[in-house]
């Protein structure tokens, strides 16, 4: 690697970063130049590896304006051997004060796509060589107008009465089914969306829906139509049987407000939740594999599970990821 140059960008070198062809153009990502303009990407947090003047590796850490956490690795592309990528990451880690989280964005069903595996094999190997460890995977799903399943008539749904009712139900739910924008909430606001969603979601509490079985609350969902795009920010259950109908209720609320697409994020290991999303008409858009420093996430970092924000200005609370 004697002919290799590894260095951060300087202001005005956005075109150097973009001179490397995008290896996964099918992913929906904010362009690097747009991210620079929005303040999420910064030259000093962007590193390149050059060989004979050509960019063979690039890595951009994201830190949204106003964020209370540490930057995380959002873009990492490699057209060289894994050792080159590892050297790039190690140099950047030293300048950044240590390894940071890495959210590796991948097309949906990437493990079953040989052409994608050929692209991601090297950067993932480089991340491991640089001391990052795979810790989980999150899937982004999208509903785009598919007819919603019929309801059973067993459950009724009503708007939440007030914040106290939402908080009381959230406190009883150990592991929410759906959390969309969780990384942004943690990194920008220092908020745990799973345990304190109203600290991040600033829309009217009347947008939330409570599922009732014979008058007894069995689930709660927080649709966010006023975020950067319509999404299901939070869905938690006290009775798993209501999952499908509560999902459909949330989508119906957003669609009635004009949404043509609704986004939801789910941990990949939540097979039953993913299956219900698919029955409701959601389809996978992409995956995010979460890599952490071997010793755990840095203090103040975005944390896991993974799904990172777009690189522009501070998102409209619920987060864009």
pLDDT tens, residue order, the chain (321 aa)? 568 999 999 999 999 999 999 999 999 888 899 999 999 999 999 999 999 999 999 999 999 888 888 899 999 999 999 999 999 999 999 999 999 999 999 999 999 999 999 999 999 999 999 999 999 999 999 999 999 999 999 999 999 999 999 999 999 999 999 999 898 888 888 999 999 999 999 889 999 999 999 999 999 999 998 777 899 999 999 999 999 999 999 999 999 999 999 999 999 999 999 999 999 999 999 999 999 998 765 544 444 433 333 334 333 343 345
> What pLDDT is stored for residue 310 in this prediction?
39
pTM to 2 decimals? 0.88
In CATH, what number does 143-285 get?
A: 3.40.630.30
CA dihedral for 26, 32, 38, 41, sign (positive or negative): positive
* Domain assignments of the chain as residue spans, ordered by start: 4-137+287-293, 143-285
> What pLDDT is stored for residue 297 in this prediction?
54
> What pLDDT is stored for residue 295 in this prediction?
76
d(C-alpha 45, C-alpha 54), whole Å: 19
Paired with 267 in beta bridges are: 138
Are 4-137+287-293 and 143-285 the same fold in CATH? Answer: yes
> What pLDDT is stored for residue 220 in this prediction?
98
> What pLDDT is stored for residue 202 in this prediction?
86
> What pLDDT is stored for residue 298 in this prediction?
54
Output phi, psi for 187, to 5 deg. -75, -40
> What pLDDT is stored for residue 215 in this prediction?
96
Domain 4-137+287-293: which topology? Aminopeptidase (3.40.630)
> What pLDDT is stored for residue 66 in this prediction?
87
Selection from 172, 135, 173 nearest residue 301 by Cα: 135
> What pLDDT is stored for residue 306 in this prediction?
36
Q: Are 73 and 79 in contact (CB under 8 A)?
A: no
d(C-alpha 159, C-alpha 153), whole Å: 17
């Amino acid at each position: 690697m004697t002919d290799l140059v590894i260095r951060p960008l300087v202001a005005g070198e956005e075109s150097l970063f973009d001179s490397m062809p995008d290896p996964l153009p099918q992913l929906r990502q904010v362009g690097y130049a747009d991210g620079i303009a929005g303040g999420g990407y910064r030259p000093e947090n962007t590193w390149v590896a050059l060989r004979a003047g050509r960019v063979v590796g690039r890595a951009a850490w994201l830190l949204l304006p106003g964020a209370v956490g540490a930057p995380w690795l959002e873009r990492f592309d490699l057209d060289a051997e894994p050792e080159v990528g590892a050297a790039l990451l190690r140099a950047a880690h030293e300048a950044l004060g240590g390894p940071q989280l890495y959210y590796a964005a991948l097309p949906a069903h990437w493990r079953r796509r040989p052409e994608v595996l050929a692209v991601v094999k090297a950067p993932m190997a480089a991340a491991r060589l640089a001391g990052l460890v795979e810790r989980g995977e999150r899937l982004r799903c999208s509903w785009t107008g598919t007819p919603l399943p019929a309801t059973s008539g067993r459950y009724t749904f009503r708007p939440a009465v007030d914040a106290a009712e939402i908080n009381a139900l959230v406190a009883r739910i150990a592991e929410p089914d759906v959390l969309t924008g969780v990384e942004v909430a943690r990194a920008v606001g220092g908020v745990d969306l799973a345990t304190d969603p109203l600290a991040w979601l600033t829309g009217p509490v009347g947008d939330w829906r409570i599922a009732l079985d014979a008058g007894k609350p069995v689930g709660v969902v927080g649709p966010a139509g006023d975020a950067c795009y319509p999404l299901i920010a939070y869905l938690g259950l006290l009775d798993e049987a209501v999952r499908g109908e509560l999902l459909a209720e949330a989508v119906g609320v957003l669609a009635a407000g004009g949404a043509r697409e609704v986004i939801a994020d789910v941990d990949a290991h939540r097979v039953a939740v993913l299956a219900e999303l698919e029955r409701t008409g959601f389809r996978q858009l992409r995956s995010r594999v979460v890599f952490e420093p071997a010793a755990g996430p840095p203090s103040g970092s975005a944390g896991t599970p993974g799904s990172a924000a777009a690189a522009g200005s501070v998102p409209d609370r619920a987060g864009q990821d």
